[in-house]
Amino acid sequence: MHEHDSDRSHEIAVVGAGPAGLTAALLLKAQGFDTVLVGPRPGADPRTTALLTGSVNVLGAAGAWDRASAHAAPMRTMRIVDATRRLVRAPEVAFEAGEIGLEAFGFNIENDRLNEALLAAADAAGLEWVAEPVVGVVDAGDRIELETEGGRVRARLAVAADGARSFMREAAGIGVRTWDYPQHAFVTIFGHTGPHHDASTEFHTPSGPFTVVPLEARRSSLVWVEKPENLAWIETLNDGELSREIERRSHRLLGKVTVEKVRGAIPLGGMVARKLAAHRTVLVAEAGHRFPPIGAQGLNLGFRDIAGLVEILVAARRKGDDLGGAATLSAYKRSRKADIESRTLAVDLLNRSLLSEFLPASAARGLGLYAATRVGPLRRFMMREGLTPSLGAPRLSRGLPLG
Ligand SMILES: Cc1cc2nc3c(=O)[nH]c(=O)nc-3n(C[C@H](O)[C@H](O)[C@H](O)COP(=O)(O)OP(=O)(O)OC[C@H]3O[C@@H](n4cnc5c(N)ncnc54)[C@H](O)[C@@H]3O)c2cc1C
């Protein structure tokens, strides 16, 4: 990584060195933009991410997929098991990637391994990096100035990839809309004696889904949604007790279970920013929207923000437009509106139907899943739309070069 010259003004400063920020900075540099990354090196991240096809394309363009893929587990089958005792129960549904001509629906990876691959790509690309947090922001008219502890970074445009509690979003005066679900998610990673056959399984229980997703070797990640009172009990379990409970709840599908060190609980809620750009700042990934970890949408949507942004900036440069000017910011907001709004609605509906004990919603879900098992075209549509929305996906997400 290169030293930063604080007297020079850059075209673009990307703030936040998580998976979104590293990817954005790599793609922008690859397109020839004078780019600097600003933010501390990523610390240990207990999350895992199921990367769908569009994200794999984006990581490929960023030069990180070859390294990441060695640690990613393919998801070739997605199984949904109704483990409720409701009146209207959905039949078991299994989706096979082969049915829509894909090798895998996506690839599950620990965020730590993903970050390692991105860090290696950043090194190889000689990415310019100020490894300090931004502590102040000044909109200086024709540029934006970012204060760090050790100095100042100037750019035409700031790309805020500084996560759900984005400092940059607040500095740009952008508010958020938030909502909560009554459940919490307990997450952990575990080893198991049986093979996972590259299948993820979602058990629907009365208090929420219990989902196991394959990781590399004989390991899987778990997202276990529960009411807060049950979660308090889960947190009292020691490793052996927790392993046996996971074995029982996963119907011993994976053999003997041994939990690893990583475990944590997250309140389930969502957040979307009221707008995606202001004051020479654009929001990408969790700085702009955060979803519960159900439905594998969070970072995948974030990678589409980044792919869309790169496309708009390349077009702006061709036209000679100011990269952080009003026209460019409006183009970004317009281009991302439909995708973010439709995903927010879809994820919210999915969560409400999964998390609700209300009979009409569960009946509708039962009927919907039933229809999906029977009706070939509907089933294929659901599978495709879950992977990458066909309408208006950015070129880099579709694996296409920029014009
Ligand atoms: C249990 C769990 C499972 C999930 N599963 C999936 C999944 O299957 N599929 C999916 O797509 N998504 C999933 N997600 C969501 C996904 O993990 C997140 O969307 C993604 O990690 C967010 O990446 P990010 O780079 O936007 O933010 P972050 O990873 O939060 O990175 C933000 C970075 O900004 C830095 N930063 C913060 N403040 C400043 C500052 N002032 N100056 C400079 N830098 C700053 C931080 O240090 C950090 O490095 C899951 C989430 C959870 C919790």
How many whole angstroms from 44 Cα to the centroid of ligand 1?
Answer: 11
How many whole angstroms from 251 Cα to the centroid of ligand 1?
Answer: 31
Average pLDDT of the segment spanning 26-41: 98
How many whole angstroms from 229 Cα to the centroid of ligand 1?
Answer: 27
Dihedral class, residue 96 (left if φ above 0, else alpha if ψ from -120 to 50, else beta): beta
The per-residue pLDDT of the chain, averaged, comes to 87
Cβ 76 vs Cβ 103: under 8 Å: yes
| Residue 319 covered by a domain | yes
Cβ 183 vs Cβ 225: under 8 Å: yes
pLDDT score of 40: 97
Q: Identify residue 100 by its one-letter amino acid code.
A: I
Boundaries of domain holding 46: 2-71+111-178+272-364
Q: Return the minimum-mean-pLDDT range out of 139-148, 216-225, 240-249, 386-395.
A: 386-395
How many whole angstroms from 288 Cα to the centroid of ligand 1?
Answer: 11
Q: Which residues pair with 269 in a beta bridge?
A: 180
How many whole angstroms from 293 Cα to the centroid of ligand 1?
Answer: 11
| Residue 156 covered by a domain | yes
pLDDT score of 53: 86
Q: What is the CATH number of the domain that holds 145?
A: 3.50.50.60
Rounded (5°) CA angle 25-268-51: 40
Q: Judging by DSSP bridges, how do beta strands 106-110 and 48-52 pair with one another? A: antiparallel
Is a pLDDT exceeding 60 seen at residue 342? yes
Cβ 114 vs Cβ 44: under 8 Å: no
| Residue 19 covered by a domain | yes
Ligand 1 pocket check: which of 299, 301, 397 to mutate, most ligand atoms within 8 Å of Cβ? 299
3-state secondary structure of 151: coil
Nearest CA to ligand 1 atom 20: 299
Q: Identify residue 360 by its one-letter amino acid code.
A: P
pLDDT in tens, 210-229: 889 999 989 999 999 888 88
Nearest CA to ligand 1 atom 1: 47
| Residue 212 covered by a domain | no
128 lines ligand 1 (CB under 6 A): no
Cβ 42 vs Cβ 18: under 8 Å: yes
pLDDT score of 229: 86
17 lines ligand 1 (CB under 6 A): yes
Average pLDDT of the segment spanning 313-342: 94
- 246 burial class (0-12, 13-18, 19+ CB within 10 angstroms)? buried
Nearest CA to ligand 1 atom 29: 18
Is a pLDDT exceeding 60 seen at residue 104? yes
pTM metric for this prediction: 0.89
| Residue 17 covered by a domain | yes
| Residue 57 covered by a domain | yes
Ligand 1 pocket check: which of 47, 211, 223 to mutate, most ligand atoms within 8 Å of Cβ? 47
How many whole angstroms from 380 Cα to the centroid of ligand 1?
Answer: 30
Q: Which has more confidence, 125 or 363?
A: 125
pLDDT score of 370: 57
Average pLDDT of the segment spanning 143-156: 96
| Residue 240 covered by a domain | no
Q: Return the minimum-mean-pLDDT range out of 88-102, 168-182, 235-249.
A: 88-102
Q: How confident is the model at residue 173 (pLDDT cuts 50, 70, 90)?
A: very high
| Residue 206 covered by a domain | no
How many whole angstroms from 18 Cα to the centroid of ligand 1?
Answer: 6
Count of the separate structural domains present in the chain: 1
Q: Which has more confidence, 354 or 210?
A: 210
Q: From the alpha carbon of 40, which atom of ligand 1 is closest?
A: 47
Q: Return the minimum-mean-pLDDT range out of 105-119, 133-147, 151-165, 366-380.
A: 366-380
Is a pLDDT exceeding 60 seen at residue 360? no
Per-residue DSSP letter, 287: G
